Amino acid sequence: MKIVILDDQTLNPGDNPWTGLDGPDELVIHPRTSREEILERASSAEILVTNKAVLDAEILAQLPRLKFIAVTATGYNVVDVNASRQRGIPVSNVPSYGTDTVAQYAMALILELCHHVGDHADSVAKGVWAASKDWTYWKCPQIELRGLTLGIVGFGRIGQRVGELGHAFGMRILYATEPPYYPVNYPASLVSIETLFSEADIVTLHCSLDKSNFEFINKALLQKMKPTAFLINAARGQLIKEQDLADALRDGVLAGAALDVLSSEPPSKDNPLLSAPHCTITPHMAWASLAARRRIVQTTVANIKAFLSGAPINVVNPPTP
């Protein structure tokens, strides 16, 4: 059985091999695949592994040999799961590889907005401290988290872990999410999204993206925030209407934002957030610790082996009853 990995570069830049897929199956690995290259590379594959290469209904209709799709991520919007289901093609994902690493990164973004450690270290390297008349200085207000309110949008595995970390810092935890709700061992209050945005000192996004919440963070919702509040996004860029956020930052509607995701990646040069004030942007790297990437490979290998054994696991498009 032929296995084709369409976009391996970001998952395995050389430190995370596909151990476990060695064997009689033919394995072909591509660092990255453009849409124009998908059909040529996938036409003879029975198993496709994808991260960002889009397998929509048009593409799937032209892959008659395809029997299984493994998505090397938790989100699976790159695959038309309904078209796959109609073809009897199971689609499996990696449901929980990034809980700890993404939660840790969200806290890093929060702490960066509170302290700007990198900026201060850079100023010391440039000689500012050596030239100072005082034994200390700071270039921006230093913010203590204890006693502040952390609002979490999306209270699944990652959101709950962020809440646990926030609670450890002494923060009050609010959350807004869709059912089901999961019990946690720290105080956390379910509130409406409007209440969360108006009461939180820091809002952090950990929800999945769907049609109901596309660009739901817009001018009206941002205007509910405190002028001292921060917005964190380590989920999906399309949750935010980017021009509205850029305008809000320029107008002082909120104090700052730290984003690991944007609506298109890599971003276009005219993305308004690239030039917005008080906006820290990192290149969608919250997921990318070696430990997390190893879990992705291990789980994807397990998904493929389970399919080959006749009992697929982590299937996101089970047959309709």
Task: Please identify every residue annotated as catalytic.
Answer: 236, 265, 284
Integer angstrom CA distances of residue 99 from 106, 247, 314: 11, 32, 16
CA dist., res. 304 & res. 3, Å (int): 9
Nearest in space to 98 (alpha carbons), one of 75, 80, 78, 70? 75
Are 62 and 82 in contact by the 8 Å Cβ rule? The answer is no
**Residue ranges with strand state E in the chain:** 2-5, 26-29, 47-50, 68-71, 91-92, 149-153, 172-176, 189-190, 202-205, 230-233, 256-259, 279-281
Give the gyration radius of the chain's Cα atoms.
22
Backbone φ and ψ of 237, nearest 5°: -65, -30
Q: Is 84 exposed, middle or buried (0-12, 13-18, 19+ CB in 10 A)?
A: buried
Q: Which residues pair with 173 in a beta bridge?
A: 150
Q: Count H helices and E strands in the chain, helices first.
A: 10, 12
Dist CA 75 CA 239 (whole Å): 14
Strand 172-176 relative to strand 230-233, pairing: unpaired
